[in-house]
Amino acid sequence: MRVPCVMCGKHKGRVEKHMKKEHFLKCLAYLRTCTGSVALHGIGEPLCYPGLLDLIEDPGSARLCFNTNGLLLDERVARQLVRKKVAAVNVSIDAAEPATYLRIRHNSLERVKANLRRLAEIKKQKKSALPRVTVNMCLMKENVREMAAFVDLAAETGAAAVLFFPMNPVMEPNIRWEWFDYAAQHVSDLPELHDRCVLAAEARAAALGIEFVYNGRKYLTGASGVSWHGRGLPETCPAAFGNVLVDTDGGVRLCCHMKGPVGHLDEDSLEAAYNGPLAAEIRERISAGAFHEYCMSEDCVYYREYRDAALQRLPERLGEAERAARSLGRAAAAWKAGVDDTGGAMLPAFTMLLAACDALLNDLAASGRKAPESLKGELITILRGFMHSAAACVRSRSAAAVNRVIAREAVPLLAQFQKLLDACSVGRQIKEAVCA
């Protein structure tokens, strides 16, 4: 029971422990007020938790469900699931053949199938539709050929649906365990086999009246142009607004990818942590199209997409800043040479440079690269000074007044700026930051 499945996140060094009973009871108190789904699982097997179902007296209006490997789903547990009206149980099986099951899950497929058949029998005796049983397969090269047979397994064990999940396109760090290599097991480089197996399983499910769910449908060849590596994500993360997750140590998170908890059950109620100031700050950042540092996690697919897009934009941003700097240099030279008496051309050039630097610094931050604080500070001070003198010029009523403002404010600033500017001076420093 304690040997994890080959593709499991436990290989990334997660600690095995049970949640304290007082934390669990604190969650249960909140659970009764919920109207949504309450999943009694994270990474790990929920039925290993001592007396899990004994502790749940009355789930109130919550829709209780959980994922399990099904190995501990004995007769007693099966009867409890039916009696306590647990809404859904999803059994992770990942194979239709005993040998494949043994390789992936290190156990006996027959044992799980027997447990599921018994649960189906008890539901029938009690005339209960609950729990709704689904079986799922995490799709990899090792098992993709067994998709259609997996649908047969679902029918044979009384499951209402089959769920197939492709593995994540990116796993960092890569998981390696015994014969298994997460990156090498991905079916993305076998598109023909993938398509054939998916379509065969779908047809089999239709013939047997089993619900077929495949959340990698967009990866089928020819499906709406979404590649294995471009996932067509929603604009903002939905998890932060509708999820709450409690760690085994009592930490409260908005999802399992966050770098840290937003509260702790030792100090807060679940509700207080979920609605606390840190959670609000994180949601505010996400609503503004950015990411809080708690979300800047390699595990978060939304952040990775956002960061990679920002990284891709950097050369373009750099080019915009350099062009804006050169155009300002030309406007300043024209003013110095007396071609542009009032220095009026400097204002739009500055506005352009300001916007370009702003966009560049934002993308630098989003990409995880840091512009040197000294560069940012210097740029901001000089740009603000220039904006101030440009505004004074605009307010001035005569050419003489404009010239006075320029001489008093803009000339010293220009000297400072030229040190930094010289187009390449700004460019070099930013380039250094980009390439650091």
Number of residues that bind ligand SF4 (CB under 6 A): 13
Nearest approach in angstroms of CB 256 to ligand SF4 is: 8
Nearest approach in angstroms of CB 190 to ligand SF4 is: 29
Choice between 42 and 344, CB closer to ligand SF4: 42
For position 23 contacting ligand SF4 by CB under 6 A, the verdict is no
Q: Where are the beta strands (DSSP E) in 1-59?
A: 37-39
For position 258 contacting ligand SF4 by CB under 6 A, the verdict is yes
For position 297 contacting ligand SF4 by CB under 6 A, the verdict is yes
Nearest to 51 by CA among 15, 24, 89: 24
The stretches of 276-435 forming alpha helices (DSSP H) are: 277-287, 301-336, 346-366, 373-395, 399-405, 411-420, 424-435
Of 11, 194, 257, 307, the one binding ligand SF4 by CB under 6 A: 257
209 conformational bin, left if phi > 0, alpha if psi -120 to 50, beta if neither:
left
From the list 162-170, 186-194, 251-259, 370-378, the region that binds ligand SF4 by CB under 6 A is 251-259
118-147: contacts with ligand SF4 (CB under 6 A): none
Question: Which residues contact residue 122 at a Cβ distance below 8 angstroms, ignoring those fewer than 6 apart?
Answer: 75, 78, 79, 82
Residue listed under structure tokens 């949640």: 19
Choice between 157 and 297, CB closer to ligand SF4: 297
The stretches of 209-300 forming alpha helices (DSSP H) are: 239-242, 270-274, 277-287
Count CB atoms within 10 A of the CB of residue 176: 13
For position 371 contacting ligand SF4 by CB under 6 A, the verdict is no
Question: Which residues contact residue 72 at a Cβ distance below 8 angstroms, ignoring those fewer than 6 apart?
Answer: 1, 45, 47, 48
For position 300 contacting ligand SF4 by CB under 6 A, the verdict is yes
The residue count for the chain:
436
Choice between 249 and 305, CB closer to ligand SF4: 305
Interstrand relation of 180-181 and 176-177 (parallel, antiparallel or unpaired) = antiparallel
For position 261 contacting ligand SF4 by CB under 6 A, the verdict is no
Choice between 82 and 254, CB closer to ligand SF4: 254
- Encoded one letter per residue, x for contact with ligand SF4 by CB under 6 A and - for no contact, window 210-239 reads ---------------------------x-x
For position 306 contacting ligand SF4 by CB under 6 A, the verdict is no
The answer, yes or no, to whether the previous bond of 131 is cis (omega within 30 of 0) is: yes
For position 326 contacting ligand SF4 by CB under 6 A, the verdict is no
Catalog residues that contact ligand SF4 under the rule CB under 6 A. 237, 239-240, 254-255, 257-258, 286, 295, 297, 300, 302-303
